[in-house]
Amino acid sequence: VYLDHNATTPLAPEAAQAVRDAMCQAWGNPSSSHPAGRKAKELIGSARESLARMVGGRPEDIVFTSGGTEANNMVIHTARRHFHESQARLGDSWGTPHIVTSSVEHDSIRLPLEQLVKESLAETTFVPVSPRSGRAEVDDVFAAIRPTTCLVSIMLANNETGVIMPVTELSQRVHALNQRRAAEGLPRILVHTDAAQMIGKGRVDVQELGVDYLTIVGHKFYGPRIGALYVRGPGTTTPLHPMLFGGGQERSFRPGGSLMEPVWVFLPQAAELVSKNWEAYEAHMRDVRDYLEARLEASFGKQRIHLNSHFTGSKRLCNTSNFSILGPGLQGRRVLSHCKMLLASVGAACHSEKGDRPSSILLSCGIPYDVAQNALRLSVGRDTTRADVDLVVQDLVQAVAQLDQDQAL
């Protein structure tokens, strides 16, 4: 039983069917002017429209990328360059660009920023999340802003706890601050959110969020392993600088012909499914997730289950349950290795090589070390049923019984 949908999702059958059709009908190079090329170009335009509709933006605001990592790196690269270009244009000397983010971001935000700090190319503040709410609180983010701040990047929903961040309020306050900063001759603060985990599980509307940039990851919503970046008026209203130079694809913001085929073959179908059905998906996944947590407490006893993703006053993703089964010798990896049916993770899939060290994200949220060490992250999907949950809980019960028996020897 696959309960690791926050790591990746299977390709939607509708998207898979589109492969055969597109390979026969639109195999041309979209940069070519002949009919085969024009057909491919039309399909890319259709894919752009589908993604824009999914997030409430305009087609011209969508730039396709190889994935979320590239999109996030492009935002960071752009913010730094825009800071320096603005500084040169105004003849001012603001110093080193400063970026604000949270302590629970994906590695594709954290690691580039750490590298820039190491090379003395930027300064970064990693704002701790509140142990009460699991969120990066707006007041704490604002307390970190400096005169040299050029970017605030806060994820829309956390991949391990599922906690939804206050991005709309943050954007509103940054926009108001930018008006005052402009009068003072200070650099504009750009606002970015990584929406990889939220799309397909809840409402995502860039007009409501008010962000300048939003990261889209296809394989998190039953699409292909590519991504896109929403940019509010790329190159005009909002700066966007390429990291690659080449054939001129994607208006030269992101050249590379090999990227285009998965865009127009898979992505529009996956995006249309989200646009039409996200409310039904959300309701179904929340029902199954809540049933899972109730069954866990009924099977193990409330005193033995610690729900790591329950924070007072915070909303969380409809599909995500992060919990620990308390007791010695029940580290998350050991429990999973004794399961016969459950396919899941102890946290982010990209951290899977870190052994029994507990998740830094859970520790950042104030979860005690010995509890975090036992954590399991189960993330249900569109097709997960209550019957699947019953099988998973039975599997966990037998795995824990075996480990308890081993511990007693």
The catalytic site residues sit at: 350
Strands of 33-131 (E only): list them.
Answer: 62-65, 98-102, 123-127
For the chain, the first-to-last Cα distance in angstroms comes to: 30
Q: Do β-strands 320-325 and 190-194 pair in parallel, antiparallel, or remain unpaired? A: unpaired
Per-residue tokens: 23: 């390979």
Distant-in-sequence, close-in-space partners of 388: CB < 8 Å, separation ≥ 6: 1, 3, 288
Which of 225, 275, 238 shows the shortest CA–CA distance to 49?
275
Tokens of 58: 């305009």
**Element (DSSP H or E) covering residue 169:** helix 167-183
Task: Give the span between the Cα atoms of 139 and 141, in whole angstroms.
Answer: 5
**Chain centroid to CA 283: how far?**
20
Catalogue the long-range contacts made by 259-263 (C-beta closer than 8 Å, 24 or more residues apart).
Answer: 259/64, 259/65, 259/66, 259/226, 260/30, 260/40, 260/44, 260/64, 262/218, 262/224, 262/225, 262/226, 263/44, 263/47, 263/64, 263/224, 263/226
The strand pair at 123-127 and 320-325 is best described as unpaired
Strands 149-153 and 213-217: unpaired
How far is Cα 290 from Cα 389, in angstroms, rounded to an integer?
10
